[in-house]
Amino acid sequence: MSSNAPYVLAQKKQLLKGGSKEAVEAQRSAGKQTARERVNAIIDEATFVEIDVFASSRANEFTAEIPCEGLIAGFGTIRNRPVYIYSQDYTVMNGSVGKANGEKICKVMKMAAENGVPIIGVLDCAGARVGEGVDALDAYAKIFNMASAIKGVVPQVSLVLGPCIGACAIAARISDVVLGVTNISSMGAHSAYVYDAIEGKADGSDICSAEYCEKDSGLIDVVYDSETSCVAGLKSLLSYLPSSCCDAPVDACQDDLNRDIPEFDAFMDAEYDVCDVVAKIADNNSVFELAPKFSSSVVTSFIKINGNTIGVVANQAKESESLELFGIIKATKFIETCDLMGIPLLTLVDNKGLSKSTCGELHGIVTESAKLVQAYSNAVVPKVSLVLNNAIGSGYAVMASKSLGIDMVYAWPNAQISAMDAESSAQVVYSKEIAESDNPIAARQEYAEKFAKYSANPINAAKSGLIDDIIDPINTRPILVAAFEMLGFSDGCC
């Protein structure tokens, strides 16, 4: 009998080519790389091992009509760290998901979880493969189930590098982090054309655009200006993420653990950017900010302290003195993500409670605040809070309270901790004195300053044991380093 090897190898070679020449040209004309080019850009050279090249929806009939089922899948390394990856091939049936395609995705996800390494999904998809009917829909349901099952077991990162609409968007958003690229990423429940038709537009809606998803809907965490910079961002992000919930990344710290930060003295007396506080605390300014353009009243970042990854939630008081609805939602999601991945939490507090907004009230700010409280309470990772300035009313209770399970709570000496702000508190506590004054306006200001100085200062909270220490801002970094070392940088979650 003649050998089948030449025939099989020829067929494999054909499958590896991907879509037609015309489809590849259309992909590049749209400013996008092919699926295989993306894998090669992400994975270290000569380390990618592909699986299921011959996968087919027709198990008993060989066909080259759907090369690799429109999905490149396998494993390799990124900066010498093992990962699994799948990349949807838009040159093959527009990257649509069908039965065999979905099974490949689920298989590579399961392998990632079993081997304790991250899973990277590169999404560029027209949706479910309509010709396969309900089998295509079931494929998505299986992807949802697998992504949910491995949530918190290994990091899941999605790169939206093309259309990602409907079920595909749902699958992407189950991921821990979603990255995108301007002009080529689109994400939403329905395509922009659907919304244009509903609203009678003809000029193209931006509701699914990368920019809208980053700033307004929050569907994409970080948007880059090119695929190249997006891949670089992915590689930087992975340096902060564990391989699994039981394997936290630790880098050699090249920064002075006892480094003072003299600039923080000035931050007590002037408006500051909390991003500067975060960067100065971190080892050598090592920061990866998530969702920087979505609800800028709250900053969420990964940083390194003593070579260990720490998740930071920080109030950006210069944007809003109060906790806003979407900022609360953003913080909750980040806290839950850090807890699932075993990443300790640092909270930098500077707010005057919940925002006074009818819009926030109507859209559930109380409900979302309850979810934030639950996220803090349920998180089992080490948790440290630092009150930079204000911790007023609910703002103290939901972000800086030891009774929520915060392990260590610190405050700068200028901190104001009170049930209400000083002006309102003075109006309540000294109402009689203010009313009887010859100049009520001046008296209100005087008593407000008195209340702030003697009643709202952090000493009272420290006397009650609710603040563990009032610290010199200059010594913030060494104190935080010591606190996280004492707590253990990760309790593990497996």
pLDDT of residue 428: 60
pTM of the model: 0.90
- The answer to whether residue 432 sits within a structural domain is no
Distance CA 460, CA 457 (A): 7
Say if 492 falls within a structural domain: no
Report the C-alpha gap between 372 and 145 in whole angstroms. Answer: 25
360 and 464 together in one domain: yes
- On whether residue 305 sits in a domain, the answer given is yes
Burial of 198 (C-beta count, 10 Å sphere; 0-12/13-18/19+): exposed
Bridge partner list, 238: none
Residues 122 and 216 in one domain: yes
Distance of alpha carbon 45 from alpha carbon 78, whole angstroms = 9
* Same domain membership, residue 182 and residue 83: yes
- State the pLDDT at residue 323: 93
pLDDT 10s per residue in the chain (494 long)?
457 787 777 777 777 677 789 989 999 999 999 999 999 999 999 999 999 888 877 643 444 468 888 899 999 999 999 999 999 999 999 889 999 999 999 999 999 999 999 999 999 998 888 888 899 899 999 999 999 999 999 999 999 999 999 999 999 999 999 999 999 999 999 887 787 777 766 555 688 999 999 999 999 999 999 999 999 999 999 999 999 987 777 888 999 999 999 999 988 878 899 999 999 999 999 999 999 999 999 999 999 999 999 999 999 999 998 999 999 999 999 999 999 999 999 999 999 988 887 877 878 899 999 999 999 999 999 999 999 999 988 888 999 789 999 999 999 999 988 866 656 655 666 666 666 677 777 667 765 666 565 566 888 889 889 999 999 999 999 999 999 999 986 544 44
Residue 314 sits in the same domain as residue 408: yes
Domain that residue 409 falls in: 264-415+457-487
Query: Is residue 250 in a domain?
Result: no
Residues 148 and 277 in one domain: no
Q: Are residues 227 and 292 in the same domain?
A: no
Same domain, 350 and 216: no
In a domain, residue 167? The reply is: yes
CATH of the domain at 202: 3.90.226.10
Structural domains counted in the chain: 2
Q: Is residue 346 part of a domain?
A: yes
Is 420 inside a domain boundary? Answer: no
What's the CA angle centered on 31, arms 188 and 65, to 5 degrees? 80
Kindly state whether residues 105 and 174 are assigned to the same domain.
yes
Q: What is the pLDDT of residue 360?
A: 79
- Domain presence at residue 276: yes
Does 280 lie in the same domain as 218? Answer: no
Question: Smallest Cα–Cα separation from 185: which of 205, 204, 213?
Answer: 213
Residue 277 sits in the same domain as residue 341:
yes
Are 223 and 269 in the same domain?
A: no
Residues 199 and 336 occupy one common structural domain: no
Which of the listed residues 238, 272, 295 is the one where a domain comes to its end? 238
Spacing of C-alpha 175 from chain mean position: 9
